[in-house]
């Protein structure tokens, strides 16, 4: 079922099925002149954060969207614990990426380079630190670049994780590839085709396996990664891809789907590795999206299904944090931007700490008075 969501931050493009074309902003949203660049919240962990970008090419397969490309190209952004906090902060995205993203999201009335001015916390090309660090693969929603998950990525790096964010070329409005070439969203012409979601998550699962294969050779800091502790986290189509990647590649020990309808077929014997659904109220039992209920029965290992009251589809991304600078009012529904970021960071980190660092997290076992918005399903989630 296709449910169009108009996102006030202007970055929502997906239905809960993760595949619809971007709607225009809400009619009530009138652009205003931004007062200054957006600033992402600082990571809460003890480590300074560094970041760098890798360009990878898989010559074993053609690109599924660009028929003129005989190899699959990927942009991978790494965030990691760094030696020092001093140094130039990494750009959120380039001016061209900002221009194309705003155009694709149909956000009028703001300068084309607005998003490129967003202030991040990670130091560009900083020297990494630490050893035996767990790895988290990060995958964005359809049409969104992985930069829209920067707040979460920086926070995880500050807590002691290496994060590999994948830009799946031609699946977002703008991905800068080798030599400064910018790949636009060719897949946007196909997202209403039958079987699009199933094919897209299979392609992303292949992207993940390739990145895991290539990372040791392509990043000088890869020796710091403990390759026995790998998880995947994604939003929307990226979340659906986490389940697909786990079904395909046993190296991915644990996964989180943030508000994404699932498409991958789980083996009949079930999936015994840890998995968590974290979503909006569209995913309550008996709600409009039934894919989580279907797959819940096939998750045979540790599992959680958490719904955040007041969240919307893009509450798990940077979108609410960017709403003000885009001049979009009202900002983002019921759950305030800062609270949405806090909840997302807290529950994602708790899951990863428990399953990649063997640190028990009582937060995941019972309701919390500190985070009353979080409902543990299916028992605590009555349909609104």
What whole-number distance in Å separates Cα of residue 200 and Cα of residue 216?
A: 26
Within a 13 Å sphere around the CA of 75, how many CA atoms are in the beta-carbon half? Answer: 23
CB-based contacts of 139, cutoff 8 Å, min separation 6: 146, 165, 166, 168, 204, 208, 232, 233, 234, 235, 237, 238, 239, 241, 242
pLDDT at 66 over 70: yes
Question: How many C-beta neighbours within 10 Å does residue 250 have?
Answer: 9
**Which tokens hold the place of 196?**
């699009």
Question: Which residue do the tokens 């958490």 mark?
Answer: 306
pLDDT per residue as tens digits for the range 270-328? 999 999 999 999 999 988 999 999 999 999 999 999 999 999 999 999 999 999 888 87
pLDDT at 25 over 50: no
pLDDT per residue as tens digits for the range 96-109? 999 999 999 998 88
Give 379's pLDDT tier (boundaries 50, 70, 90). confident
2 in Cβ contact with 20 (< 8 Å): yes
The pLDDT, as a whole number, for residue 327 is 80
Q: Nearest Cα to 374, choosing from 300, 283, 296? A: 283
Range 49-377 has CATH code 1.20.1440.130? no
pLDDT at 381 over 70: yes
pLDDT per residue as tens digits for the range 69-79? 999 999 999 99
Percent of the chain with pLDDT over 70: 89
pLDDT at 226 over 80: yes
pLDDT at 384 over 50: no
**In the chain, alpha helices (H):** 95-104, 150-158, 196-218, 237-248, 291-296, 319-322, 337-356
| Strand ranges inside the chain, DSSP E | 49-58, 72-81, 123-124, 133-139, 162-168, 175-176, 182-183, 225-235, 254-258, 275-279, 303-308, 374-377
């Amino acid at each position: 079922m296709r449910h169009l969501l108009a996102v006030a931050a202007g970055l929502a493009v997906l239905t809960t099925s993760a595949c619809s074309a971007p709607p225009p902003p809400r009619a009530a949203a009138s652009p205003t002149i931004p007062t200054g660049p957006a600033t992402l919240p600082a990571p809460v962990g003890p480590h300074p954060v560094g970041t760098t970008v890798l360009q990878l090419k898989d010559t074993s397969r053609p690109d599924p969207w660009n028929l003129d490309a005989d190899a699959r190209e990927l942009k991978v952004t790494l965030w990691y614990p760094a030696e020092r906090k001093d140094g130039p902060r990494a750009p959120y995205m380039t001016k061209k990426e900002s221009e194309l993203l705003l155009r694709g999201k149909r956000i009028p009335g703001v300068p084309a380079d607005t998003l490129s001015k967003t202030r991040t916390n990670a130091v560009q090309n900083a020297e990494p630190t630490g050893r035996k660090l767990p790895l988290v693969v990060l995958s964005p929603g359809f049409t969104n670049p992985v930069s829209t998950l920067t707040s979460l990525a920086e926070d995880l790096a500050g807590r002691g994780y290496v994060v590999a964010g994948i830009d799946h070329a031609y699946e977002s409005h703008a991905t800068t590839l080798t030599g400064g070439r910018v790949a636009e969203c060719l897949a946007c012409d196909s997202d209403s085709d039958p079987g699009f979601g199933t094919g897209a998550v299979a392609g992303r699962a292949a992207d993940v396996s390739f990145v895991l294969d290539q990372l040791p050779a392509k990043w000088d800091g890869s020796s710091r990664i403990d390759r026995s502790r790998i998880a995947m986290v994604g939003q929307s189509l990226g979340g659906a891809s986490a389940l697909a990647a786990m079904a395909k590649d046993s190296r991915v020990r644990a996964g989180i789907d943030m508000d994404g309808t699932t498409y991958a077929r789980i083996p009949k014997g079930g999936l015994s590795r840890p998995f968590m659904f974290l979503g909006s109220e569209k995913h309550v039992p008996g709600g409009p999206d039934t894919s989580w209920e279907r797959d819940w029965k096939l998750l045979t290992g540790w599992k959680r299904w958490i719904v955040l009251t007041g969240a919307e589809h893009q509450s798990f991304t940077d979108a609410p944090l960017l709403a003000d600078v885009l001049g979009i009012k009202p900002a983002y529904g019921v759950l305030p931007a800062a609270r949405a970021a806090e909840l997302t960071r807290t529950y994602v980190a708790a899951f990863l700490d428990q399953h990649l660092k063997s640190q028990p997290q009582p937060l995941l076992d019972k309701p919390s008075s500190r985070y009353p918005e979080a409902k543990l399903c299916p028992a605590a989630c009555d349909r609104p």
